[in-house]
Structure 1
Amino acid sequence: MRVVEVTRFGGPEVLRAREVGDPVAGPGQVVVRVAAADVLAVEAQLRTGWGVEWSGTRPPFVPGTGVAGHVLSVGEGVDPAWRGRRVAAMVSGGYAEQALAGVEALVPVPDDLPLPEAAALLQVGPAALSLIDAAELKPGTRVLVTGAGGGLGLVLVELAAAAGAEVTAAATAPDKRRRAELLGAAHTEVAGPFEVVFDGVGGEQGARAAELTVRGGRFFAYGVAAGGPAPVDAAEAERRGITVVGMEQVQFAPEEFGRLAGRAFAAGITPTIGLAVPLDRAAEAHTAIERRTLVGKAVLLATSRAVRYREYGEADVLTVDEVPIPAPGPGQVRVAVRAAGVNALDWKFRRGYMVVPLEEPAGTGIEVSGTIDALGEGVEGWSVGRPVFGRVATGGLADHVLADPAQLLPKPDHLSYEEAAALPVAAETAARTLAELDVEPGRRLLIHAVAGGVGLVAAQLARARGVEVVGTAGEGHHAFLRDLGVTPVTYGDGWAERAGPVDAVLDASGRGVLADSVRLTGDAGKVVTIADPRAGEFGVRFSQGGPDPEPVRQVVESGAVRMPIARVFPLEQAADAHRLSEDGHLLGKIVVITEADVPR
């Protein structure tokens, strides 16, 4: 398994991923297959050597104390019913694909709570609930939250506002203040006094916040982001009747922690995840924390979701599996997928039409858009974070996929991720088939299934070249097609007569139209199909291409193509996306998105 360890004291660059042996559960322990690991500011401090005198932590060591995932195996004395359950747990060495946890540390995670969110809530949720309980807030209580843009601060803002308090959120950056306002903060400009102060910063800023506490108010001094807790004068606080509560309010015995974590998971809290990156990018998470630019929490992802099938058949064979995040090999890049196109080829493979033996679970999806997430050895000209789109060999319906950088293109700003994911196959196919037909300006081209992805791109490219376009499509799409300058023809008996004489035909439907198409043109050489395997019976060319990005680049740069998105499905509904693709009669392309509950 992979872990990320601190190789020596220093900056974020000392965090390195490496392979180690899998852990084995001892008596009273379980092995958790980690889906996500929480990242704390104190972990970034320990990495530098801060606190070594009391922590005893010396390199090399694996940071991380909070994880969420599934129980992989159980040790002696542990109820076997824990196997496979979704859990969160406090551990030692959480920056890993697997982690050991005592069974008493396990907190069940509800099915409707994504595991990255559970990891983000595991430690701030109990702390926030404990602070809110101790504050005894009432409607109208004036509350100040310092460090309100952090993970704990934002949860406190949300819970205090839900309790009816008038919340002021103090945060350094506009995006942090905006997030606090979305979660219920009434003010972001600090103007006391306040009956309750939650100080998540400490240091001199915390001391100034303490001065804004009213006589008889409560000041919670748990923050150390400024290097230590707020230096509150105990005698002055006593004189003013201010109750000062320190770190003890956010430190718990295991049983109490488990109870509070369970409450947090069931409370409907909205965890704010400002950064979610794979384990091997842990240095970025630490850098973001140190720069104090992060809105909310950072989490490390140890698994990726991928749509796969283990047998051929209907769309029901598709499952969404948790798999290890792939590491790019030499000459490869890893793409954090934002959107993936669905093509007929996907469900034809899934049905077994291509007669490819299934020796292991197979992925699905060959066109994606997203951001480059990692670079393999020898890759040049690309950088992590670069928005891209293009084709992959397979497995595009996933959170992460490996790609040949030669098959990727930079995503232009004017294309959304959904639009970019819909273009690679359609654009390459349309450009190729139009070149094969070589229709001259002023001639008449018939496109079957003109409202589909390939048909729409081909129609727009042909119109831009001065070709008259006629297309078969359902009546519900006719108005859109007319706006594109296409003459629509309804499917069904008599379509050939309605289409009239044409000079060339592109069949993107595969619906038994080749014989009449040859009759209309008078020349089988003027008919091309991408969808009917019986092409040879009619002397028609069956056009097949490959992942050539150059035609796609030219189509995008031409600015001549609009690609409507027929439907967008979340990854969990990939089977529904396949079913709709098989049904056909769509306007544009079907796209599956990763529904990123975490940023990509």
Structure 2
Amino acid sequence: MKVIEVTRFGGPDVLRAREVHDPVARPGQVVVGVAAADVLSVEAQLRAGWGREWFGAEPPFVPGTGVAGHVLSVGEGVDPSWRGRRVAAMVGGGYAEQALAEVEALVPVPDALPLRDAAALLQVGPAALSLIDAAELKPGARVLVTGAGGGLGLMLVELAAAAGAEVTAMASSTAKRRRAELVGAAHTEQAPRTEQAGQGRFDVVFDGVGGEQGARAFELTAPGGRFFAYGVMAGGPASFDAAEADRRGITVRGMEQVQFTPEEFTLLAERTFNAGITPTIGLAVPLDRAADAHAAIEGRALVGKAVLLATSRAVRYREYGEADVLTVDEVTIPAPGPGQVRIAVKAAAVNALDWKFRKGYMVVPLEGPAGTGIEVSGTIDALGEDVAGWRVGQPVFGRVPTGGLADHVLADPAELLAKPDHLTYEEAAALPVAAETAARTLAELGVEPGRLLIHAVAGGVGLVAAQLARARGVEVVGTAGESHHAFLRDLGVTPVTYGEGWADRVGPVDAVLDASGRGVLADSVRLTGDADKVVTIADPAAGEFGVRFSTGGTDPAPVRDVVESGSVRMPIARVFPLESAADAHRLSEEGHLLGKIVVITEAVVPR
């Protein structure tokens, strides 16, 4: 199995992957197959050599204390029913694909809670609940949270606001302050202002920073208030005059408020997992990018938590059938081979081709679990050998052979494009197939100024084709549901409703692009008077009418041309989280949508 070691004290680059033997559970232990591992700021400090006198860690060692995953095996004396269960646990050496845990340390993870969320909640959740409990907040209480952009700080903001407090979030960056507002902060500040010192504006202060800023936050605690000094981000806890605290009647709690017995921790963790709290995960990267997680923490730009992923989620099916056959599986994170890149997927589009494959229409034998999704956008996560011109972290979009509905997917860089800033990840994921297909079919039709009919003009291909044709001076008429007509008119398209008599409503046309596959070819040939002027991408009966059936290509050049033109709008019909991929497939099958359906893998991550 793979572990991440601190090879020597130093910067993030001292973290290196190494293969070691799989652990074996001893009596009273289990082996947890790690899906995600929590990353703490104190782990970055330990890696750099801080705290040796207290923690005694000497390289080489595997950092990490909080993990979530599945129980793979159990040791002697452990109830075998633990095997296979979803759990979180405090461990030693959590930056690993497998970790040993004492059975008493296991916390069951509810089925509805993603394992990466459980890893992110495991350590900050109990701390946040303990602090909120001790604060005894009353509605209207004035609360200050320093370090409010971190995982614990944001959770305190959310919980305090939910208790009816008026929360001021103190954080170093605009992004962190904006996130704090989203989870409930009434006010945000960058740092304590000197002129406020001693004014005692706050009934409760949660200091997650320590050091000089913590000392200044203490001065803002009102007489009779509560000051919680648990933060050491500045290198140590806040320094303050104990006599001054007594004089002003301020109750002070230190690190003891976030230190627990195993029994206390387990109870608090269970409360956390069942409290409906969604953590802010600002960075989720594979184990082999642990250095990036540490660098993000040290750079103080990270919003919320960082987690390391030992597995990836992928939407797959094992048999042909309705959307119910789709499952979200925990899988090994793929490693790019020579000439490949790995993409950390942010968004993936759903196409008709996806559900047609899933239903078995393409007569492709299943040889194990099959992935779904051929259009993605995200960032390059890893480079294989012989890959030049691309870099890790670069935003990209394009086509993949399959398996795009996943956290990570492998891609041929020749089929990718750099994502421009003016496109969101959702918009970028929606373009590759539609743009390539529209450009190709218009070329096959030899479209020139005249009258073009597009069936399903409100779909992805139809919309791009219509806009490209309009830019060339072509008059476009299209069949679409009436609810989409206003949007189409804004694009300069003349919309026509589906149903009986549609051909009479359209009238003669010079060419037809059928993107619907709804039995419209006979009338389309009649309207043009020439089967060569009709192309379909959706009706397998094309040959019966002498019509060309146009199949897809993977050349990204037409997509690049469409994107660079800046003139094509691609509305997003619906956005689904990865866990709801089956619902996305169902909606795609229903049709009659405006634009494309997109599945996102980071529904709870601020982007």
TM-score scaled to structure 2, two decimals?
A: 0.91
Query: In the aligned structure 2, how far is the partner of 1:583 from the partner of 1:195?
Result: 55
Which shifted more, 254-263 or 582-591?
582-591
When residues 464 and 16 of structure 1 are mapped into structure 2, their CA distance, relative to the original with a 3 A threshold, is same
Which letter does structure 2 place at the counterpart of 1:20? Answer: V
Counterparts of 2:45 and 2:419 in 1: how far apart (Å)?
37
Distance 1:28 1:354, change over 3 A: same
Single out whichever of 126-135 and 252-261 deviates more from structure 2. Answer: 126-135
Partner in structure 1 of residue 413 of structure 2: 405
2:151 is aligned with 1:159: no
Tell whether the 8 Å contact from 2:355 to 2:589 is kept in structure 1 after alignment: yes
1:143-182 matches, cutoff 5 A: 143-182=143-182
Query: CA offset at residue 106 of structure 1?
Result: 0.9
Task: Write the letter of the residue equivalent to 1:130.
Answer: S
Q: Does the residue aligned with 1:460 lie in a helix, a strand or coil? A: helix
SS at 1:556 equivalent: helix
Q: Which residue number corresponds to residue 51 of structure 2?
A: 51
**SS of 2:292 mapped into structure 1:** helix
Cα deviation digits, residues 232-258 of structure 1 (max 9, x gap) = 455665566655433222221111111
Distance 1:446 1:217 in 2: 72
Distance 1:260 1:280 in 2: 31
Residue equivalent to 1:524:
531
2:539 maps to a residue whose letter is D
After superposition, the Cα gap between the structure-2 partners of 1:183 and 1:366, relative to the gap in structure 1 and judged at 3 Å, is closer
**In the TM superposition, what are the counterparts of 1:383-462 in structure 2 within 5 Å?**
383-441=391-449, 443-462=450-469
Cα distance in 2 for residues equivalent to 1:400 and 1:329: 14
Q: In structure 1, the residue corresponding to 2:155 is in which secondary structure?
A: helix
Q: Which amino acid aligns with 1:561?
A: V
Instruction: Give the partner amino acid of 2:479.
Output: T
Unaligned runs of 5+ in 1: none
Change (3 A) 1:179 1:326: same
Q: Which position in structure 2 is the counterpart of 1:573?
A: 580
Deviation readout 1:533-579 (Å, 9 max, x if unpaired): 23233332222231110011112222332222233222222222222
Q: For 1:267, which of 275, 280, 285 is the aligned residue?
A: 275
Identity %: 87
CA distance in 2: counterparts of 1:65 and 1:114, whole angstroms = 19
Is contact 2:89–2:107 with CA below 8 Å preserved after alignment?
A: yes
Matching residue's letter, 2:280: T
**Selected match of 1:501 from 508, 512, 516:** 508
Separation in 1 of the partners of 2:584 and 2:365?
A: 24
Is the aligned partner of 1:562 residue 2:569? yes
Task: Output one character per residue of 1:375-405: Cα deviation in whole Å (capped at 9) or x when no partner.
Answer: 2233222223322211111011112211111
Question: Cα RMSD over matched residues?
Answer: 2.6
Shift of 1:493: 3.8
Match of 1:341 in 2: 349
The number of aligned residues is 599
Q: Specify the alignment match of 2:475 in structure 1.
A: 468
In structure 2, the partner of 1:308 is 316
1:545 correspondence with 2:555: no
Q: Does the CA-based 8 Å contact 2:278-2:604 persist in structure 1?
A: no
Contact 2:577 2:603 (8 Å CA) reproduced: no
Larger deviation, residues 525-534 vs 195-204: 195-204
Displacement, 1:218? 4.4
Secondary structure (helix, strand or coil) at the match of 1:73 reads: strand
Aligned residue number for residue 594 of structure 1? 601
The 1:500–1:72 alpha-carbon spacing in structure 2 relative to 1, beyond 3 Å, is: same
User: 2 CA distance for matches of 1:588 and 1:217?
Assistant: 55
- The separation in 1 between residues aligned to 2:209 and 2:344, in whole angstroms, is 33
Q: What's the CA shift for 1:368?
A: 1.2
Show the 5 A alignment for 1:480-495. Answer: 480-495=487-502
SS of residue in 1 equivalent to 2:81? helix
1:592, distance to aligned residue in structure 2 (A): 1.9
Give the deviation of 1:409 after TM superposition: 1.2
Distance 1:136 1:314 in 2: 51
The SS at the match of 1:87 is strand
Change (3 A) 1:573 1:231: closer
Q: How does 1:62-141 map to 2 (within 5 A)?
A: 62-139=62-139, 141=141
The alpha carbon displacement at 1:217 in A equals 5.0
User: For the structure 1 residues 170 and 562, does the alpha-carbon distance in structure 2 shift closer, same or farther, using more than 3 Å as the test?
Assistant: closer
**Residue deviations 1:336-383 (CA, integer Å, cap 9, x gap):** 222211112111211222222211100001111222222223322222
- Kept in 1, the 8 Å contact 2:283–2:305? The answer is yes
Q: What secondary structure is seen at the aligned counterpart in 1 of 2:417? A: strand
| Structure 2 CA distance for aligned equivalents of residues 500 and 269 of structure 1 | 57
- Maintained 8 Å contact 1:276/1:598: no
Whole-Å separation in 2 of the counterparts to 1:566 and 1:222 = 46
Contact 1:452 1:589 in 2 (8 A): yes
3-state DSSP of counterpart to 1:409: strand
SS in 2 for 1:23: coil
Distance 1:460 1:395 in 2: 29
Matched residue SS, 1:491:
coil
**Is 1:351 matched with 2:359?**
yes
Give, in whole Å, the separation in 2 of the partners of 1:236 and 1:122: 36
